[in-house]
Structure 1
């Protein structure tokens, strides 16, 4: 059962990394450090968007419209952190 706990924590770590990569990449694109005309950058960006957009769109339906501020990545990251805390604090039930 410990292996299930480790697999869940690994999946949450991967989700956390992907969300961070998407946030940092969006900043770099908006500040014109990265250019979407570069094939590798465009593939990474569109891949991350296709991966995270289903999650973000559900969160955007719940969150209020704040104009140009998108809080969906922040809320998704907070959910990942909360799930990690819940799993670690209830690790005794996995043993």
Structure 2
């Protein structure tokens, strides 16, 4: 059971990482007019990614202003997620595996 919980937490953190990366790439594609919002599929993908990453990035956006039009909050969020993954795997995961099996 403990191994399954550790796997689930690591998978969720990985999915959050990929959602932030995809959202950043999609925003760059919008900014450089490679793709546009008029495409219905692209618009739906962008809205889903914004809904997923918005709550993650919002606390960072309160403290980190855009630097000359460049939003570095995805980088800071990715660093925070990686920090949480290391912290969880080093401190909580062994305890969960030992107690729950």
- TM-score where L is the length of structure 2: 0.82
Offset, 1:28: 1.3
Whether the 8 Å contact between 2:17 and 2:78 is mirrored in structure 1 is: yes
List alignment gaps of at least 5 residues for structure 2: none
For residues 1-95 of structure 1, what are the structure 2 equivalents within 5 Å? Answer: 1-90=2-91, 91-95=93-97
Show structure 1 runs of 4+ deviating over 3 A: none
Unaligned runs of 5+ in 1: none
Cα RMSD (Å)? 1.5
Larger radius of gyration: 2
Q: TM-score, normalised by structure 1?
A: 0.87
How many residue pairs get matched?
95
Higher relative contact order (CA 8 A, sep 6+): 2
